[in-house]
Structure 1
Amino acid sequence: MKTLVLAGGKGTRLWPLSRELMPKQFVRFIDGESLFQKTVRRALLFSEPEEIFIVTNRNYKFRVFDDLGGLGVELPEENVLLEPIGRNTLPAIFWGIKTIQERFGDSIVAVLPSDHLIEANDDYVDAFKRARILAGNYLVTFGIKPMRPHTGYGYIKPGEALGEDDELLGHLVEEFKEKPDFETAKRYVEEGYYWNSGMFAFSSSLFIGEVRKHAPELYTAFEDADTVEDAYINAPEVSIDYGVMEKTNKAAVVPLNVYWNDLGSFDAIYDVLGKDESGNAIRMSGKNAYHIGINSRNNLIMAERLTVTVGVEGLIIIDTDDALLIAHRGESQRVKEVYRLLKERNDERVMVHRTAYRPWGSYTVLEENDRYKIKRLTVLPGKKLSLQMHYHRSEHWVVVRGTARVTVGDKEVLLRPGESTFIPAGVKHRLENPGRVVLEVIETQIGEYLGEDDITRFDDDFGRYDKE
């Protein structure tokens, strides 16, 4: 079985914990391993590394490879498909399935979102084995047996039983249901409906045929395009559920009796985390960060510094280095409204944390004003930044740890801890770590414009063409 992992979602519902350039699938807020890494582990249950394909946003390319490296998993670079723009799930899945078919011929493919928390137990393995049997003739989706009525999930009504040799494999899908109100959700659970998990399995040729039949504009966009960019420009923005699954007469559902959570809100995160004796779910990070609670109950608290709560109950408190969110539990679905407002104001905090990760390492904004910005750069051994130039700012670098090879104009020097250099605006420059330990540099920017888009690249090891 081949596996297609979807990893292109933005960090809109878990702001400020997640951001557009660090969405929830890459955030390590459960047990030190990202949801994306957990998804790859599940993919390896049925697929070899060369049989795993990933569709993701171009901005996430290096996050994907960093997380794969953390697992010790090597995928062929051509197996990571970089979407030029987001068009919802159907274009992403169609491109991935089309690529797999071109590479391997007709194949059974499992499609896995990378931002769900799933218990991959024996029931999980058994469900995928049953789905593989059905996938030659049906577009199989997986239905989660509900633990309780839930208004945040779509539902699937199972129909006629499907089996082989007197073994029940699944059911035809009688109907897909949108997110209901509570009373309707309660009735769905009583009548044996399933939660719609967003996971699938099907044969590549069957899926492509159903797309051609039910979403002809999308099919034509890819068939007629000379490039992927052209295909995405002309493709409609549509989900796989709306574009195909709700229209086909070949949809089947396989029950999946495992713990599953799409972690689509902070309320969902509260549900999955362990609690103290007062019902508080606490996740602290950072040096000397811990929580003191006095008469505080049933709160979710995720913070990076000493946090004290007194006499509060049922709150969500998310404190990062540049933003603080406080909300009542039960209201966290409205966080996406905050995201929308920040987006309208062009607030860069919707995009990135103070610490931003790059293929060469990371940078942390320590302080900033209208005319200056101070960063801490960490450059991994053997890595180097692009050869670049800024029009509106000068920079001053001071080495704190390690050895830096610095290019300024036509001069190249080695700098050690305590040594520094100055880069005037308009001069080509480059920072490199030739050593075996992490290089740390304090960078002070001074100028009339300090945006990350004031950068012109002349050479780059990572082939980047967008903002640093």
Structure 2
Amino acid sequence: MGNLKVLILAGGSGTRLWPLSRKYYPKQFIKLKEFGNVSFFEMAYNRALNITSKENIFVITNNDYKFHCLNQSSLNENQIIIEETQKNTLGAISLGIESGSDDDIYLVLSSDHLIGEENLFTKEVLESVEDAKNSILTFGLKPTSPHTGYGYISFENKGKKPFKVNKFIEKPNLENAKKYLENGYFWNGGIFMFSKKVFFDELKKHNKDYYEIIKNGVLKNFSKLPDLSIDYGLLEKTDNIKIVPLNIYWNDLGSFDAFKDYFNENNLSTQITQIDAKNNNVILENNSKEVALIGVDDLIIVDTKDALLISKSGQTQKVKEVLEILKKENKQETNFGLTVYRPWGSYTIVDEGVGFKSKRLTVLPQKKLSSQMHHHRSEHWVVVSGTAKVTLNDKEFLLRKGESTYIPIGTKHRLENPGKVDLHIIESQIGDYLEEDDIIRFDDDFGRV
């Protein structure tokens, strides 16, 4: 008998929630106070732990997000499956389940969804395992509104669940969405369960061209795959698919308008001072600002340390158009915020000007930066908290709170956190060129040499 496994899809591009999300810090890894400073990825990982054991949880992502997945879970590197290029959900799932046994059952979850009634969700999944041995199951979500941003599922609501799926329907216009709501259709939330054997058997039967590419190995033929969603490439074609309808809270929070609705429903909106103003929502990256609005209505304002988005309610999906403009202008704000995450921790740019830059470094326990050298800058490190292990050329020593060291230009150096708590450093850079590409790496724990 196979194992029950969970595959978490954790790709993406960080575009829909800019400026909170960035190319290298997409939505699923963001931590907001409104969600208890727990990321959507961490929620998905905890959801998976409710269903199966840690060793049966796998994540499919790309190289840029690998360290986020490791740092926000207790998974091992061999449980993070890397897709070298994006091939949509059909390719990601095919790659993610390739190494399993034929009778393994896979639950496929997105890494950026909000689910209420977690206990009920777990119960429904576990009760459906037997059915997943012979059919592809999709977990449909009961709609709360005629939403035009989700696909819909028509099914035969009679007999014992899971029910036979009649049809998958692409994102509709508002008029059709209202009809689907009245007729009892459910949302397609992108949650599936099946055995590896059933998945590839159905793929061979209904998408032979796709199957022919991967039959001798998904990984080695991955670059040849067309860009297809699992819906279009398989689910809309097969008749061996059933639905488990879920009457639980679900939200993919795919836009700031969705955030506004959720915050209003749960009284989570940021407290702001308003005069002759109403129906405004403000999302702050941190709570360090007092916000006052005068004479404006129906605005969504998203404020981060280096970017500000102001949008009329109902139009935040146009943030993608903003990003296209910024990308053409080569704006770094599309890729990173002032806080940049690395496999060893993070750094935040505190201040910068001509010839200087000040950063706050956070080094995670038992992690170390690469052994490196800079041609154009010197650095001065001051320990704020924790203990630092410093290597300067061949000299090794410890620095504790309040202690500091100076790294001259051209000096080989390395910073390590040997402790059990985060290490916080203030780094002052002085030089005529202070960009991140002024670095020569000699050794690195994360393969970046």
Compute the TM-score of the two structures, normalised by the length of structure 2.
Answer: 0.89
8 Å CA contact 2:283, 2:301 repeated in 1: yes
In 2, Cα distance between equivalents of 1:359 and 1:146: 39
* Residue 57 of structure 1: aligned partner: 62
Following TM superposition, by how much is the alpha carbon of 1:249 offset from its aligned partner in structure 2, in angstroms? 1.8
The separation in 1 between residues aligned to 2:303 and 2:448, in whole angstroms, is 33
1:129-182 CA distances to partner (integer Å, 9 max, x unpaired)? 453232222211111111121111111111475x5xxxx113222221111111
Q: Distance in 2 between matches of 1:207 and 1:449?
A: 53
**Equivalent in the alignment of 1:378:** 362
Partner of 1:71: none
1:33 paired to 2:58 = no
Say how many residue pairs are matched: 439
Structure 2 residue corresponding to 1:395, chosen from 369, 372, 378 = 378
CA RMSD of aligned residues (A): 2.5
Give the equivalent residue in structure 2 for 1:424.
409
- 3-state SS of 1:65 partner: helix
2:247 to 237, 241, 257: 257
Q: Distance in 1 between matches of 2:187 and 2:134?
A: 22
Q: Match of 1:86?
A: 86
Give yes or no for the alignment of 1:342 onto 2:326: yes
Cα distance in structure 2, aligned partners of 1:214 and 1:372: 60
d(CA) in 1 for partners of 2:448, 2:83: 14
**Corresponding position: 1:21 with 2:8:** no
* 1:247 corresponds to: 237
1:91/1:235 contact within 8 Å kept: yes
Aligned match of 1:299:
280
Select which of 174, 194, 206 maps to 2:198: 206
- The offset of 1:207, in angstroms, is 0.3
Give CA-to-partner distance per residue, 1:371-394, whole Å, 9 cap, x none.
543212222344321112334x31
Q: Is the 8 A contact 2:150 2:171 kept in 1?
A: yes
C-alpha contact (below 8 Å) 1:57/1:82 kept by paired residues? yes
Note if contact 1:108-1:132 (Cα within 8 Å) is conserved in structure 2: yes
- Take 1:153 and 1:7, find their aligned partners in 2: how far apart are those partners? 19
Contact 1:408/1:423 (<8 A) preserved: no
**Code of the aligned partner of 1:263:** L
Alignment of 1:46-445 (within 5 A): 46-68=51-73, 74-101=74-101, 105-121=102-118, 123-159=120-156, 161=158, 163=159, 168-224=160-216, 228=219, 230-274=220-264, 282-283=269-270, 291-303=272-284, 304=286, 305-369=289-353, 371-391=355-375, 393-401=376-384, 402-415=386-399, 417=402, 419-425=404-410, 427-434=411-418, 438-445=422-429
**Is the alpha carbon distance of 1:344 and 1:464 closer, same or farther for their aligned partners in structure 2, counting shifts above 3 Å?**
farther
| Identical pairs, percent | 46
1:220 deviation in Å? 4.2
8 A contact 2:383–2:399 mirrored in 1: no
Matched, 1:45 2:50: yes
Query: Contact (CA 8 Å) 1:217, 1:236: kept in 2 or not?
Result: no
Which consecutive residues of structure 2, in runs of 5 or more, have no partner in the other structure? none
- What secondary structure does 2:21 align onto? coil
Structure 1 position 269, deviation (Å): 1.0
3-state SS of 1:18 partner: coil
What are structure 1's unaligned runs of at least 5 residues? 69-73, 284-289
Contact 1:6 1:56 in 2 (8 A): yes
CA, structure 1 residues 445+215, in 2 after alignment: closer, same or farther (shift >3 Å)? farther
Tell me the secondary structure at the aligned position of residue 384 of structure 1.
Answer: coil
Whether the 8 Å contact between 2:377 and 2:433 is mirrored in structure 1 is no
Contact 2:150/2:170 (8 A) holds in 1: yes
Q: Deviations over 1:4-32 (max 9, x none)?
A: 11112221100011112221111122222
Distance of aligned partners of 1:184 and 1:208 in 2 relative to their CA distance in 1, 3 Å threshold: same
What's the CA shift string for 1:235-271, capped at 9, x where partnerless?
2222111111111121222211111111110111112
The 3 A distance-change label for structure 1 pair 148 and 414 is closer
